Amino acid sequence: DTGVSQDPRHKITKRGQNVTFRCDPISEHNRLYWYRQTLGQGPEFLTYFQNEAQLEKSRLLSDRFSAERPKGSFSTLEIQRTEQGDSAMYLCASSDTKLGRQGRSNEQFFGPGTRLTVL
Amino acid sequence: KNEVEQSPQNLTAQEGEFITINCSYSVGISALHWLQQHPGGGIVSLFMLSSGKKKHGRLIATINIQEKHSSLHITASHPRDSAVYICAVRSGNNNDMRFGAGTRLTVKP
């Protein structure tokens, strides 16, 4: 399977614990995005990377959230001191911004998501 | 007011019916995406368009840039089309996407 993968698919944790999610983008995709989706809502942008550089962060990304993409390939999203309001689906997407790919430059391909439940 | 509004929120149809889902947006965009999300969360990109019309199988997407409106049509709907359909826009030089709340489609046999 050469699509975007995320691990774990489900995570249940107690309030106050730290959690870390991993996203493996499509190979050679230079951009990687993190989104959060709460029940009944569309996804909301959290942050994105171009290669290993984190270029944009939403104000939704509080100090308890940190994301890394150290080698420009996989990325991790860590939530410290989780709160019940953090319960959501965390989605990762990747895209290839190189031009000339049949006009589909920057189309985002989504992973299956990690569903977080904070008790 | 959300930057991306979808209608209807929920839609129930009988198998074989023609389906239309609408999306209006209030920002300038460089591209509009239609996404399909199945129970369990996985999102599949159906279309990315910046003008005109695209067709893939039984799915048709149109966009009117002047009116800031897009529609997703499903012809000869089938129960396997049941999913949440999400409209998302990418605006100008921004690299994040803004999403609608989604339209939950249920197609009954």
**pLDDT tier, A102 (very low <50, low <70, confident <90, very high otherwise):** very low
Chain A positions with Cβ closer than 8 Å to B: 31, 33, 35, 37, 40-45, 48, 55-56, 58, 89, 91, 93, 104, 106-113, 115
Closest-CA residue of A relative to B37 is: A112
Mean pLDDT score of chain A, rounded to an integer? 89
Q: Measured between CB atoms, which of B43, B44, B96 is closest to A45?
A: B96
The predicted pLDDT at position A103 comes to 47
CB contact under 8 A, A107 and B99: no
CB contact under 8 A, B98 and A45: yes
From A69-73, A93-97, A100-104, B87-91, the region with the lowest mean pLDDT:
A100-104
Q: Using CA atoms, how far apart are residues B46 and B86, in angstroms rounded to an integer?
A: 10
The predicted pLDDT at position B74 comes to 97
CA of B10 vs chain A CAs: smallest distance (Å): 11
From A1-5, A38-42, B86-90, the region with the lowest mean pLDDT:
A1-5
Answer whether B48 touches A (CB < 8 Å): yes
pLDDT digits (tens, 9 = 90+) for B91-109: 765 566 889 999 999 999 9
Substitution target from B32, B49, B84, B97 for chain A, most A beta carbons within 10 A:
B97
Contact residues on chain B for A107, CB-CB shorter than 8 A: 33, 45, 48
Answer yes or no: are the C-beta atoms of A6 and A112 closer than 8 Å. Answer: yes
Answer whether B89 touches A (CB < 8 Å): no
Q: Using CA atoms, how far apart are residues B14 and A113, in angstroms rounded to an integer?
A: 30
Of residues B73 and A105, more confidence is placed in: B73
Which of the given ranges, A43-52, B5-14, B33-42, has the highest pLDDT on average?
B5-14
For residue A84, give the 3-state DSSP assignment. Answer: helix
pLDDT digits (tens, 9 = 90+) for A15-50: 999 999 999 999 989 999 999 999 888 899 899 999
**pLDDT tier, A100 (very low <50, low <70, confident <90, very high otherwise):** very low
Q: Using CA atoms, how far apart are residues A16 and A101, in angstroms rounded to an integer?
A: 45
Percent over 90 (pLDDT), chain A: 69
The predicted pLDDT at position A75 comes to 97
Q: What is the 3-state secondary structure (H, E, C) of B28-49?
A: CCCEEEEEEECCCCCEEEEEEE
Q: Using CA atoms, how far apart are residues A53 and B93, in angstroms rounded to an integer?
A: 17
